[in-house]
């Protein structure tokens, strides 16, 4: 049976590929979604479900589905990384493997971006590898699940 991995993307991730290309790259979120689906299926026989919302409430609702419907979680909380105790609290309820990812290196950015509130509840943090952060997240989830 295929393992199901949920990838959640936070606010403004729908604009990558067109916004601040020097920070987030030129690859669109749809292209990243396709790469994740192919990588997950070809290397690990994972079924990848990919979601994005600009709404904190949507993200919290999706996090509450993880325990019953998924085998692992990859999350790019985007700006909520630095502000959302509600997302942190939701992440803490999940016992399945969880990896936080970021396209940019949050530690080389503005001071307010250097602290991830949400990473406290993750099994690991991958940051700074552009679109490859997603693929590395899939690799990391596989290692934890094994």
Q: Which position among 39, 44, 80, 102 bears the catalytic label?
A: 102
Which residues neighbour 106 within 8 Å (Cβ) at sequence distance 6 or greater? 81, 113, 114, 116, 127, 128
Distance (Å, whole) CA 36 – CA 117: 25
Helices (DSSP H) in 1-146: which residue ranges? 21-24, 29-44, 56-63, 66-69, 85-92, 132-145
Annotate 35-54 with three-state secondary structure.
HHHHHHHHHHCEEEEEEECC
Q: Which of the residues 24, 44, 80, 134 is marked catalytic?
A: 24
The closest alpha carbon to 75, from 112, 110, 94, belongs to 94
Q: Parallel, antiparallel, or unpaired: how do β-strands 98-102 and 3-9 relate? A: unpaired
24 is catalytic: yes
Give the residue numbers annotated as catalytic, written as ranges.
24, 102
């Amino acid at each position: 049976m295929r393992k199901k991995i949920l990838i959640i993307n936070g606010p403004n991730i729908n604009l990558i590929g067109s916004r601040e290309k020097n920070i987030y790259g030129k690859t669109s979120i749809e292209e990243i979604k396709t790469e994740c689906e192919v990588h997950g299926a070809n290397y690990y026989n994972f079924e990848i479900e990919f979601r994005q919302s600009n709404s904190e409430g949507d993200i919290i609702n999706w996090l509450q589905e993880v325990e019953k419907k998924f085998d692992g979680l990859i999350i790019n909380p985007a700006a909520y990384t630095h502000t959302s105790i509600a997302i942190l609290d939701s992440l803490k309820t999940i016992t399945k493997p969880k990896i936080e990812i970021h396209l940019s290196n949050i530690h080389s950015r503005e001071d307010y971006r250097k602290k991830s509130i949400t990473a406290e509840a993750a099994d690991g943090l991958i940051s700074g590898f552009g679109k490859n952060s997603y693929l590395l997240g899939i690799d990391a989830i596989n290692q934890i699940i094994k």
